[in-house]
Amino acid sequence: MSDENNSREMEQDRVDHVIHEINKKEKKLYAKSSDLKESVVELRKNFWEDVTVNLDEPDDVIETQASLKQQAELLSERERFHGKVGEELKILKRLKDSPYFGRIDFLEDSENQEDQIYIGISSLMDSDDEDFLIYDWRAPISGLYYDHSPGEAAFETIEGTIAGEITLKRQFIIRQGMIKGMFDTGVTIGDSLLQQALGNNASTTMKSIVATIQQEQNKIIRNEKSDLLIVQGVAGSGKTSAALQRIAYLMYRYREELNADNVVLFSPNPLFSSYISNVLPELGEANVRQTTFLDYLVDGIGNKFTIESPFEQMEYVLAETNQKDYSIRMKSMDFKSSLAFKSIIEEFVSYLKAHDIQFKNISFRNQVLISKEQIYDYFYSLDDEIAIPNKMELVSKWLLKELQYHQRQEKDKDWVMEQVELLDKESYLKAYYESQAGDEDEEGNAAMEEEILRRAVVKKVFSKMKRLIKLYEFVHVSATYKKLFTEWEPGNSPEHWRDICQLTALDLSRKSLTWEDAAPYLYFKGKLLGDNTDRSVRHLFIDEAQDYSAFQFALIKSLFPYTRMTLLGDINQAIYTNTTKENPLIPKNQPWEHERITLTKSYRSTKQITEFTRSFAPGHEEIEAFERNGSKPKLKGMKNQEGLEEALINEVESLKDTGYQTIALICKTLEESEEIFNLLMNKLNLKQVNEETYSFEKGILVLPVYLAKGIEFDAVILPDASKYTVESDRTLFYTACTRAMHELIMVSADETCMFIAEAPLETYAID
């Protein structure tokens, strides 16, 4: 038997041994889980029997509350422990299928014997809990596997640096407990393993990349020092995957102080959120708080406005060029995305310290209790040196006192007794017992009972007004913001300022906020009422960060002032208008201290697709192709639109016959995607993806390019490449083409797309 076969047999024996140990641990955990479940069921069943309930005396009430709390805490603890056991069982199940993916033999300096370190998605101890059978990929020693070739190496621990020599690095592909592939390598991840991982069909969810993490990705994952980490990664470089592994690593590294609620991820759209939702659970971690920046803004602004989404703004830019205000709107987008507009808002807020903040009447039953003029006068009577949000707090306290007076005045009015008559039996009973507590005679008790009921009604009615006052609803934020565009002139007016103001004021009158106004409005609201900073957020991750404007990023910095941030993006894919100026991914315009990591190698697409797309990539970043070969991108020319339907059907059927499971017809706009869907819906089993699509499914998908961001498909068809006609379409076209893993087909009904013409003829095939 050759050394290779002998080695493989020994490794399979070890896999069998590890699975045997997993089975033993599973058996113990199942027994423990069963006992815990019975215990929880028993506790729930006998909850009230085990609680001493006595409400006769104050001391008895306190004792009852303590008994309830103790019993509830016991039940909660058992349920948590049962859930923890369930999570451990899930991890063991995953380990049983593929216990580990890597091995390094490490000889520590001053030691005589090598340590054999096997690395997997989670740690596993032997049955005596003495030795590690598997090391978690996030453990300090596992960094050797990702960062070093055989030879001298070192890793950091709490105690200091451990130095030594890697004498062997081995990689495995294990499925259902059987070794399917085994490679000894001198680099981080051998091409053989990557070829197998990347050559498969696209999945409906992003997969964990722990087995194929590259050295440059590992720098992102294990970075613990940077308050602001900027990752510029070309399409398909694994930046999003690395970010999710980074979250898992940080939650492992700081597990005593960091949990899923302390981490927030801004993703580009709900479809993408669904696409990445499986990665952290696959690694045994809970999903962190995921939202889109749009949803975050909507929550902060409230329901008083209809807020345009970035996708609606994109559709306007691409499809509404004939609108009469189009050029002014484009200038407005440009200006309101800049830090110059932020300065104008701050200048306006400074002006508001002396006058012009708008307030609302506080009314009750069609009667003004406290007028907006009274509130205005009180606000501006306060010391000018007090910050506006602090003055608002003082006004709120004053208003609550004033309301207390009006509440007492209202108590004796006729409408209150009408409401008393509508109260339920329990309210009457409670009032009766309270009235009996005094030394009054029967008539006095009846009067007291009515008094108690009147107070209860008025308190309930006024409590809603008090709650709104605590939320500063007495401030007319939108009317004040509108004054910025109607009655105030900045010290240095930008070009077309009057036209921009007129357009904005019209939108505000319609209770509508454009996407370029949403972030500025929330920023302005924070300056008036105080920012609702979430201090519980320790880490913020922003994917597709190149699509954020300078103003939006400045808002984020103000809302999360003490939060560490990781920004991920690709300047080549900055598809939204006015996002490349002062962009956070461009260090020279970045005013905050940061560390920048660049990923230049594309793993998603075949070498042929990558070499084609980098010919017209918008930026100047280096793009390296991974050595995975496939067909050249194909350009299919059409003399007219009549043959489009037949051509698209033929291409889709051919791709299906090849075995591809996710085929995307990526269109420039939503309007075009609807046209293509209607054209083919009776001939093919299509799924249309729009802004409301929340889950990614296999099949033939029709979608606009901006909803394909961050997602990959087996094959991509561009139904009409000739629609990309101007320089500003370059990022859109590049983004659409780089979604393809294995096949890229471009149909062109008119003259050849200007970007395809930039690619050397040898990089694509013409049909």
pLDDT at residue 205 above 80? no
No. of helices (H) and no. of strands (E), the chain: 25, 26
For the chain, how long is the longest CA-to-CA vector?
Answer: 107
- The 10s digit of each residue's pLDDT in 4-45 is 667 889 999 999 999 999 998 888 887 776 655 555 555 555
Domain endpoint, select from 586, 602, 618: 602
pLDDT average, residue stretch 643-667: 92
For residues 741 and 604, the answer to whether their CB atoms sit within 8 Å is yes
Question: Can you name the residues that pair with 233 across neighbouring β-strands?
Answer: 599
Q: What local confidence, expressed as pLDDT, does residue 341 receive?
A: 94
pLDDT tier at 373 (50, 70, 90 boundaries)? very high
State residue 135 phi and psi, 5-degree precision: -100, 140
Residue 666 and residue 752 share a domain: yes
Residue 146 and residue 16 share a domain: yes
Lowest mean pLDDT among 159-173, 282-296, 455-469, 680-694: 455-469
Q: Which residue has the higher pLDDT, 60 or 456?
A: 456
Asked, for residue 759, whether it belongs to a domain, the answer is yes
Residue 291 and residue 239 share a domain: yes
Asked, for residue 93, whether it belongs to a domain, the answer is yes
What residues have CB less than 8 Å from 763, skipping those under 6 apart? 608, 611, 612, 615, 632, 633
Tell me the whole-structure pTM to 2 decimals: 0.83
Q: What local confidence, expressed as pLDDT, does residue 53 receive?
A: 46
- The 10s digit of each residue's pLDDT in 506-531 is 999 999 999 999 999 999 999 999 98
User: Interior CA angle at 565 toward 564 and 569, to 5°?
Assistant: 165
Q: Residue 672's domain is classified under what CATH number?
A: 3.40.50.300
- Check the annotation: does 239 bind a ligand: yes
pLDDT at residue 92 above 50? yes
DSSP per-residue codes, 81-103: HHHHHHHHHHHHHHHHH---SEE
pLDDT at residue 760 above 90? yes
Token pair of 637 as six digits: 């020319």
- Check the annotation: does 710 bind a ligand: no
Asked, for residue 117, whether it belongs to a domain, the answer is yes
Question: Can you name the residues that pair with 183 across neighbouring β-strands?
Answer: 171
Lowest mean pLDDT among 259-273, 383-397, 601-615: 259-273
For residues 63 and 51, the answer to whether their CB atoms sit within 8 Å is no
Distance CA 187, CA 133 (A): 24
pLDDT average, residue stretch 597-617: 92
Asked, for residue 621, whether it belongs to a domain, the answer is no
- Check the annotation: does 238 bind a ligand: yes
Distance CA 638, CA 643 (A): 7
- Number of Cβ within 10 Å of residue 397's Cβ equals 12
Would you give the DSSP letter of residue 263? E
Domain endpoint, select from 183, 206, 229: 206
Which range marks the domain in which residue 689 is found?
629-766
Distance CA 426, CA 433 (A): 11
Q: What mean pLDDT is reported for the chain?
A: 84
Token pair of 751 as six digits: 């003259």
What residues have CB less than 8 Å from 405, skipping those under 6 apart? none
Asked, for residue 68, whether it belongs to a domain, the answer is yes
Asked, for residue 485, whether it belongs to a domain, the answer is no
Residue 233 and residue 141 share a domain: no
pLDDT average, residue stretch 491-506: 91
406: closest CA among 354, 381, 370? 370
**b/e per residue 226-235 (b: at least 16 CB within 10 A):** bebbbbbbbb
- Check the annotation: does 277 bind a ligand: no
Residue 366 and residue 232 share a domain: no
Asked, for residue 340, whether it belongs to a domain, the answer is no
Residue 146 and residue 66 share a domain: yes
Residue 235 and residue 124 share a domain: no
- The 10s digit of each residue's pLDDT in 137-194 is 999 999 888 888 889 999 888 788 999 999 998 888 888 999 988 888 765 454 555 5
User: Interior CA angle at 728 toward 726 and 732, to 5°?
Assistant: 100
Total domain count for the chain? 4
- Check the annotation: does 693 bind a ligand: no
Domain endpoint, select from 471, 489, 509: 471
Lowest mean pLDDT among 25-34, 243-252, 342-351: 25-34
Residue 56 and residue 198 share a domain: yes
Judged on CB neighbours under 10 Å (0-12, 13-18, 19+), 94 is middle
- Check the annotation: does 317 bind a ligand: no
One-letter amino acid identity for 607?
K
* Percentage above 70 pLDDT, the chain: 82
Residue 225 and residue 193 share a domain: no
pLDDT average, residue stretch 54-76: 54
For residues 157 and 148, the answer to whether their CB atoms sit within 8 Å is no
Residue 190 and residue 66 share a domain: yes
Q: What local confidence, expressed as pLDDT, does residue 511 receive?
A: 94
Asked, for residue 530, whether it belongs to a domain, the answer is no
- Check the annotation: does 566 bind a ligand: no
Judged on CB neighbours under 10 Å (0-12, 13-18, 19+), 571 is buried
- Check the annotation: does 558 bind a ligand: no
Lowest mean pLDDT among 322-326, 359-363, 532-536, 721-725: 532-536
Residue 218 and residue 185 share a domain: no
Residue 58 and residue 20 share a domain: yes
